[in-house]
């Protein structure tokens, strides 16, 4: 095992390394989306869920997001739950219309470092437990190699966030994902993993409070983390841009996607947008109000993948 290839659980250990000590990782230029035809808010499994979803409006917002992504990403691929259901045949899987959160594809899996495969999620709530079955079927159809989920709870790229261009994985835990999953992932992915403990169930996934912008900068909401976790972030990133707590909670200001230096995010976070633009980033805002009613925005709706051979 290489010196960097381990679970790095202290800021002191991180400060002894530089970003350049971690092997390079190719950029993932494909974006996966899930068609929102079955999206709704029919149960409550996080503190943000509430209100009646306007499904027609949700579809319009998703269409606009797809259009924006197609302008910035090399390849956008859409998982249609209805089509995947047909290919699943008579397997004992709940129908997609009973899984209204499937649109939040970030939670289904995490890409392997080379981007040619994925490791499936092990969802922590029974309401979403079957979603990765659909993603597995679709990913195999697309030509990706698919690895089984860790044995412990692990909610995919919602909690496991790759450091830009490096074989370094930030691993959120404490609300949904189990820290034991990262011991397994470090070995299976051949990567360094930095566990980050979340302390507030309003930030139930890491992608609600951490968005890496580049190898040296990230957008964060520091109140979501323990002091030890904040120290780890400060040990690696030269610049941490803080999103105000009200914008991170009310508008999911941190839950965005970064495409070639452009930050794609929801609306309603003017302070965060101003701070990003002052730091030199282009920001494109897309309305995601209907998806906020279920606890997700741009980051939850997208999953970065590589291109399979």
Give the SS3 label for residue 25: coil
| Mean per-residue pLDDT over the chain, rounded | 95
* Enzyme catalytic residues: 205, 300
Give a yes or no: residue 31 inside a domain: yes
16 occurs within a structural domain: no
Helix-strand-coil percent breakdown of the chain, rounded to 5? Answer: 35, 20, 45
pLDDT at 13: 87
Main-chain phi, psi angles of 272, to 5 degrees: -60, -45
For residue 11, being part of any structural domain is answered with no
- Predicted confidence (pLDDT) at residue 66 exceeds the cutoff of 60: yes
Count of the separate structural domains present in the chain: 1
Burial of 36 by CB count in 10 Å (0-12 exposed, 13-18 middle, 19+ buried)? buried
> What are the helix and strand counts (H, E) for the chain?
10, 15
In a domain, 3, yes or no: no
Q: Is residue 261 part of a domain?
A: yes
pLDDT 10s digits, 266-275? 999 999 999 9
Residue 78 counted as domain residue: yes
Q: Which residues contact 273 (CB under 8 A, 6 or more apart)?
A: 265, 283, 285
Relative to beta strand 160-162, strand 168-173 is antiparallel
The percent of residues above 70 in pLDDT, for the chain, comes to: 98
Q: pTM for the full model?
A: 0.96
In tens, the pLDDT along 82-138 reads: 999 999 988 889 999 999 999 999 999 999 999 999 999 999 999 999 999 999 999
Other C-beta atoms closer than 10 Å to the C-beta of 80 total: 15
pLDDT above 50: residue 1: no
What is the pLDDT, as a whole number, of residue 10?
Answer: 87
Is 46 inside a domain boundary? yes
283-298: average pLDDT: 98
pLDDT of residue 5: 53
Query: What is the residue range of 157's domain?
Result: 26-305
DSSP 80: -
CATH number for the domain spanning 70: value is: 3.75.10.10
């Amino acid at each position: 095992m290489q010196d960097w290839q381990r679970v790095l659980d202290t800021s002191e250990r991180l400060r002894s390394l530089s970003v350049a000590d971690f092997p390079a990782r190719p950029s993932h230029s494909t974006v996966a989306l899930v068609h929102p035809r079955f999206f709704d808010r029919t149960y409550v499994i996080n503190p943000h869920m509430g209100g009646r979803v306007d499904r027609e409006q949700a579809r319009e917002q998703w269409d606009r997001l797809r259009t924006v992504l197609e302008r910035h990403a090399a390849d956008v691929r859409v998982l249609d739950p209805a089509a995947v259901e047909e290919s699943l045949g008579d397997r004992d899987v709940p129908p997609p219309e009973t899984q209204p959160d499937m649109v939040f594809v970030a939670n289904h899996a995490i890409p392997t470092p080379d981007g040619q495969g994925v490791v499936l999620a092990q969802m922590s709530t029974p309401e979403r437990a079957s979603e990765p079955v659909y993603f597995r079927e679709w990913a195999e159809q697309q030509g990706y190699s698919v690895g089984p989920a860790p044995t412990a709870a692990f909610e995919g790229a919602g909690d496991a966030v790759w450091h830009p261009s490096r074989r370094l994985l930030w691993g959120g835990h404490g609300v949904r994902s189990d820290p034991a999953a990262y011991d397994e992932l470090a070995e299976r992915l051949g990567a360094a993993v930095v566990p980050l403990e979340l302390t507030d169930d309003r930030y139930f996934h890491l992608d609600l409070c951490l968005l890496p912008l580049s190898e040296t900068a990230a957008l964060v909401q520091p109140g979501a983390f323990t002091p030890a976790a904040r120290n780890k972030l400060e040990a690696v990133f030269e610049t941490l841009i803080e999103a105000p707590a009200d914008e991170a909670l009310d508008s999911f200001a941190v839950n965005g996607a970064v495409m070639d230096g452009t930050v794609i995010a929801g609306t309603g976070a003017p302070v965060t947008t101003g701070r990003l633009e002052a730091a030199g980033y282009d920001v494109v805002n897309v309305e995601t109000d209907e998806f906020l009613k279920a606890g997700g925005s741009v980051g939850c709706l997208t999953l970065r993948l590589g291109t399979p051979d």
